[in-house]
Amino acid sequence: MSDHPIAADTAPAAQFPVSPNNPCPFLRALVANGYVGGHVVPLSKLSEMIGLASGETGARQNKVRLETWLVAVIANGLGPLRVFNSATSGAVLDELRNGPLDKHGGGSRILDADAKVHEDQIDRLATFGRDCKDPSGGIELGLTAKEIEAFMTANLKRSGEAARWYFPILMKGEWPVLLKILGKGEGEARYLSVAEVRTLFVEQRLPERITARLPKPAA
């Protein structure tokens, strides 16, 4: 596997451009494929997309939407005016970098500040995985909640003195959330497919089982 960065502008021509200042791989896929815009997105729209993508229904989906809203409302800043603007106008997806949720290299380091994907870091992620039983058949490399926890702990250790006390809190809103939305299987056996993580970062694409839950993207 090559360890050379892949520029964000190598995405398929059919996709929309995504700002390097949007560091969230899931949001980047939503923008690239036209499910949401790349600039200001109303929190109701953002929470709806993530709620639908989760596959939950009823009260559980409402919980996902609320959790998404609570995170998104502070994503661009913690100041009262910024929070008010986010709540009333929406999150600015191309201005998320350097915001309250940015760990400045304290995470997986798969996507750098220039929106280049480092596949060697995906390979590193894979070393924490194990063989998992795909509900649709077969075995594939994946990370359950236990392996994801070990991965995040290793990321913190790698950061050394640069790590901040709140990094573990921020991490809870990243890989565990991806597991909840993109994961396969149920309970403790639920896992995040390494192959799908690679597709999410490199191709900015979501699995078909996820896109089937979403409304038709903008033309």
**pLDDT tens-digit map of 3-59:** 444 444 444 447 999 999 999 999 999 999 999 999 999 999 999 999 999 999 999
**pLDDT tens-digit map of 85-110:** 999 999 999 999 988 888 877 789 99
pLDDT beyond 60 at 78: yes
28 or 1: whose pLDDT is higher?
Answer: 28
**Cβ(38)–Cβ(16) under 8 Å?**
yes
What are 193's two structure tokens?
């497919």
Percent of the chain at pLDDT exceeding 70? 93
Task: Give the pLDDT score at 219.
Answer: 62
What are 95's two structure tokens?
């201005």
DSSP 80-125: HHHHHHHHHT-EEGGG-TTSTT--TT-S--SB-TTS-B-HHHHHHH
- Cα–Cα distance between 129 and 107 in angstroms, integer? 17
E strand spans, the chain: 40-41, 91-92, 130-133, 139-144, 191-193
Quick one: how far is CA 196 from the chain centroid? 12
Number of neighbouring beta carbons within 10 Å of residue 163: 15
**Cross-sheet strand order for the sheet of 130-133:** 130-133, 139-144, 191-193
Task: Give the pLDDT score at 9.
Answer: 46
Quick one: how far is CA 64 from the chain centroid? 14
Task: Give the pLDDT score at 125.
Answer: 98
**pLDDT tens-digit map of 168-206:** 888 888 999 999 999 999 999 999 999 999 999 999 999
Mean pLDDT of all residues belonging to the chain: 91
Residue 101: CA atoms inside 13 Å, Cβ hemisphere, count? 20
Task: Give the pLDDT score at 7.
Answer: 45
- Cα–Cα distance between 124 and 205 in angstroms, integer? 21
**pLDDT tens-digit map of 103-133:** 877 789 999 989 999 999 999 999 999 999 9
DSSP 8-class letter at 161 = G
Long-range contacts of 129-134 (CB under 8 A, 24+ apart): 129/194, 132/184, 132/185, 132/189, 132/191, 132/193, 133/185, 133/189, 134/184, 134/185, 134/193
